[in-house]
Structure 1
Amino acid sequence: MLFQVGDKVVYPMHGAGIIEAIEEKEILGEKENYYVIHMSIGSMQLLVPVGKVSALGIRLVVDQSTMENVLDTFHNGQPDTSLPWSQRYRLNMDKMRTGTTCECAEVVRDLMRRRQEKALNSSEKKMLDSAKKILISELVLVNGVTEAEAKHLLDDETE
């Protein structure tokens, strides 16, 4: 088994949660072990086949010092404003799929700054909401803060 009950993990494109259990389930006549992941934001629970964890990119949450570096990059890094919309969207989507905290934070930062300059289109609004939720969910678990406090860490210097 890759993870243990109690591990804090991130599921790319979904967010961070805690493994509550490892259960054997029979689905379509096949028995398989599943991680039961309780997401840190909302009351959603995910069942993830143990054998598919690597392919899905599920990883442990980052440590405190990595999160501090991510927040520093978030607040002080500079976005690339030269890309046309379609390239920017593709690049941001690729960053979110990697599941890395830093790349997710870059997407949130760049879209929040862009939103200050002009309104985002509906695709970018959705992407910002999704990326923000993912980043906040990991902040909640890494920093041991509430969802509201995590949002404040992001909105702090950028809004």
Structure 2
Amino acid sequence: MTKTKKSEFRANEYVVYPAHGVGQIVSIEEQEIAGLKLELFVISFEKEKMTLRVPTNKAVTVGMRSLSSPEIVDKAMATLKGKARVKRAMWSRRAQEYEQKINSGDLLAIAEVVRDLHRSDDQREQSYSERQLYEAALERLTREVAAVAGGDEVIAQKQVNDVLVSRAA
């Protein structure tokens, strides 16, 4: 059974690249780099106005994956409803762990970060770095929820927000 890597991702497909979140494969092109012919996925991240070229044979190794299934999105939403679990470790250590979860590309891990860092209006203020991590995780989560549902980020943002608000109530 010789299955080629090419069939895994296709042009126009939305994918998740761990360090950058949801992007769209605009094309698959061949380039010559240092005398070697390489086949590359050209991935566009519209919001960041960024284009990434990933060798097709390295895509899986770097953690690139297809969008989560609707079941995983439901699990992520259920994770948001849970009680925040904040370790008693120093902030720098926790911040590192949150950053690793965000950059893992794992939707459930990202949902945990959103859950743990979410503050309702009556809770204490967030530090600047807490807010930055929270917003990064929230954006990644919202984008993937939107992409799985067909693309409307405003609706996805409202869904996520409604879950977080209902939890706080």
TM-score under structure 2 length normalisation = 0.80
Name structure 2 gaps, 5 residues minimum: 1-5
One-letter code of the match for 1:36? V
Task: Tell me by how many angstroms 1:100 deviates.
Answer: 0.8
Runs of at least 4 residues off by over 6 Å:
none
Q: Check 1:26–1:47 CA distance in 2 against 1; reply closer, same or farther (3 A cut).
A: same
Moved more, 24-33 or 113-122: 113-122
Task: Provide Cα deviations, 1:34-79, integer angstroms capped at 9, x if missing partner.
Answer: 11123364553322222321232111111112211211221x2122
Name structure 1 gaps, 5 residues minimum: none
Q: Check 1:115–1:42 CA distance in 2 against 1; reply closer, same or farther (3 A cut).
A: farther
> Does the 8 Å contact 1:5/1:19 carry over to 2?
yes
Matched, 1:35 2:41: yes
Percent identity among equivalent residues? 32
Q: Provide the residue aligned with 1:147 in structure 2.
A: 153
How far apart, in 1, do the equivalents of 2:45 and 2:122 lie? Answer: 30
Equivalent position SS for 2:125: coil
Equivalent position SS for 1:4: coil
Size of the aligned set, in residue pairs, is 158
Task: Provide Cα deviations, 1:130-149, integer angstroms capped at 9, x if missing partner.
Answer: 21221122112101141111
Q: 1:79 aligned to 73, 80, 84, which one? A: 84
1 or 2, which has the higher helix percentage? 1
Q: 1:129 aligned to 112, 135, 146, which one? A: 135
Q: Check 1:124–1:115 CA distance in 2 against 1; reply closer, same or farther (3 A cut).
A: farther
> Does the 8 Å contact 2:20/2:103 carry over to 1?
no
Q: 2:76 aligned to 70, 74, 77, which one? A: 70
| Larger relative contact order, structure 1 or 2 (CA cutoff 8 Å, min sep 6) | 1
> Does the 8 Å contact 1:8/1:60 carry over to 2?
yes
